[in-house]
Amino acid sequence: MSKIYGLTGGIAAGKTTILNIFQKLGCKIYDADQVARIVVEPGTTGLRQITKQFGKSILLSDGTLDRKKLGRIVFSDRRQLKLLTGITGPLIRKKILKMIDEAKNDQSQQTYIFEIQLLFESHYQEYFDATIAVYVDHEIQLKRLIKRNNITKQAAEDKINAQMSMEQKRELADYWIDNSQTIDDLEKQIKLLLKQL
């Protein structure tokens, strides 16, 4: 039987790096961010609903979603974020649950890792054998986010504060990974974790 785990963590916690390590170690990985992009591609119900809610100014000239512009709107106003999540949440959920179902029907010994930013907030934990949280110190998270997104400290704080804290995610998870150290340290933690799973 396949094993299926949910992975979560705050923004700029290094989830992509961790997913890559899991993949290198033989796990099959899924990234909910990719699903979130698919459901708002041009021509989708998701993009039509977002445009209706937020106006055509959130579209780029080629008709794709201007993620940065929409991000500035929703991460500085919790009501707007709730409206956006109300549109994209059900579409993302439907697609992710279909992918989880396919993984569960896999009769091999494959280990699946599903990275879902809002794993606990959207109550996905019930679909997994166990959950894993990625943890990083707040100051490290802030520095990484400012550097990665080339944004101000305030914009980074807004994005971080719009989410469940990493401490909360760590408490809710069955296992957790500390991503405050080196890549080598991270790989050792993940190898050890895979032996426990």
For the chain, which residues make up each domain, given as ranges? 3-192
DSSP letter, residue 71 = H
CATH fold of the domain at 3-192: Rossmann fold (3.40.50)
Predicted confidence (pLDDT) per residue in 180-193, tens digit = 888 899 999 999 99
CA gap 37, 80 in Å, rounded: 19
Number of residues that make up the chain: 197
Task: Provide the residue type at 14 as one letter.
Answer: G
Burial of 163 (0-12, 13-18, 19+ CB in 10 A): middle
Reading the chain (197 residues) residue by residue, the pLDDT tens digits are 789 999 998 888 888 889 999 999 999 999 888 898 999 999 999 999 999 999 999 999 999 999 989 988 888 888 998 999 899 989 999 999 999 999 999 888 899 999 998 899 889 999 999 999 998 888 888 888 888 888 888 888 888 887 888 888 999 999 999 998 888 999 999 999 999 88
Report the alpha-carbon distance of residue 81 to residue 77 in Å, rounded.
6
Count how many Cα atoms sit within 13 Å of the Cα of residue 44 in the half-sphere of its side chain. 17
Distance of alpha carbon 81 from alpha carbon 20, whole angstroms: 29
Instruction: Name the pTM for this structure.
Output: 0.80
